[in-house]
Chains A and B, each alone.
Chain A
């Protein structure tokens, strides 16, 4: 199960903490970086089918 917690850093910036309990991993970043990654995943078409 993956938990996503939002928090603010000491400058008041929006931050995200992602905890992947099943794989015993956690990652934290700014909300802006989190959104960028989500957008990247959504648009990910890294290889055209003609390459396959």
Chain B
């Protein structure tokens, strides 16, 4: 077969030479209905000759001995992938390989130990979860908090509050999850328990309200709430139901556990059936575009008289942008980060030992000393209250070698975001202006809590 000459536009009257026929006209792709039709028409094919077969949509060329397809056996074939999300990678030089898609929400990272050099891993980065202390690792108020019947938004584990109704005296306590299969990364949970013998029925409300600055990123977005929960053996709600909700509001920094939001909306709601084994529950939905505050609210509707194990346990509470519940991670990713995040709302200085010093100051008059307590973390707003033990004699004032027990529990004098000034009162004996240390008085139970919660 002659060598091709390329492309030429013939002019009217031009002489068609044999070289033109061999160099131009014989170089084209000939079209046949099938290979049989081609073989009938071309009985002496030439090396390099091309044809197109309509029945198989195949382009073939003659190698000098046979018609062969253009398909390159070294090219990546369709059959290498099997399912949606598969990607083509390699296990070695010139060795392509299939990598199946990872679980929803996972991310692809390089991994030299993996055969393909790639691996899908859970998304554990901090910041995706807006709820603070969502694995119930921080309990500044104690690891077992009693909540009175008919109490509104009593803070328990840090950032989580409980509202009870009449005859629903309750306890919120830290428990180990005791499960390394279903929630292996989470050590603790909160047990929300109606105390045995309590007769109050109806809703117990447990949840966390986000301040506005942490809520705005969800406005107008699809979000996913996920959490782990299980029931005690005497959990009393009908059908062992627990209602999980995301409420939104249009106000600023309100507590949804205490009262309805301004512009209250129930953005997400689901009723799940608890068992005595851990389960993970997820719900996705949209948040209104005008939402400026958001809360997760768990509602357990108690029935009858509480038995010994009338409780549910919850942990791994996560809200994130998107419609997929990714692997649980705390808001900050570290226990020290979680503690600091909690201390932005509440800080408790526990005596721990019997004569711990809390703060220093000077005598305001003969019975009152004002002492300044620096805070480890700047509060979100100036402190709104302080709480202490209810026993005045748990506290004392020290000047030199003189120690005097307080006659009134410490009380707030001035509030700021980085410190508070406290009044310590004794019956008598101070000299105005004298230096004073304030501390615990032979008890490890003394404490000073500084509150800036929602």
Interface residues of A (CB under 8 A from B): 7, 9-11, 15, 17, 19-21, 23-30, 33, 40-41, 43-47, 51-52
- Contacts A44-B152, A46-B260, A51-B203; A33 near B413 (Cβ below 8 A): no
Known A17-B409, A17-B411, A28-B411; further 18 A-B contacts with Cβ < 8 A: A10-B413, A15-B411, A15-B412, A15-B413, A19-B390, A23-B148, A24-B390, A27-B386, A27-B387, A27-B388, A28-B385, A28-B387, A33-B384, A44-B152, A44-B163, A46-B259, A51-B269, A51-B299
Task: Produce 1/0 per residue, B403-439, CB < 8 A to A.
Answer: 0000011111111000001010000000000000000
Distance of A41 Cα from B255 Cα, bound (Å): 12
On whether the beta carbons of B299 and A26 are closer than 8 Å, the reply is no
Interface size class of B (residues with CB under 8 A): 35 or more
On whether the beta carbons of B385 and A33 are closer than 8 Å, the reply is yes
User: What's the least CB distance linking B254 to chain A, in Å?
Assistant: 9
On whether the beta carbons of A52 and B202 are closer than 8 Å, the reply is yes
On whether the beta carbons of A7 and B411 are closer than 8 Å, the reply is yes
User: What's the least CB distance linking B324 to chain A, in Å?
Assistant: 26
Interface contacts (Cβ under 8 Å), in number, total 94
Q: Which residues of B contact A19 (CB under 8 A)?
A: 390, 409
Main secondary structure on B side of the interface with A: strand
On whether the beta carbons of A11 and B414 are closer than 8 Å, the reply is yes
Interface residues of B (CB under 8 A from A): 146, 148, 152, 163, 202-203, 205, 243, 245, 256-260, 266, 269, 297, 299, 301, 364, 370, 384-391, 408-415, 421, 423, 445, 451
Q: Which residues of A contact B411 (CB under 8 A)?
A: 7, 15, 17, 26, 28
User: What's the least CB distance linking A6 to chain B, in Å?
Assistant: 11
Distance of A35 Cα from B243 Cα, bound (Å): 32
19 contacts between A and B (CB under 8 A): A10-B370, A10-B421, A15-B411, A15-B413, A25-B387, A26-B388, A26-B390, A27-B385, A27-B387, A27-B388, A28-B386, A29-B384, A29-B386, A30-B412, A33-B385, A44-B152, A44-B163, A51-B269, A52-B299
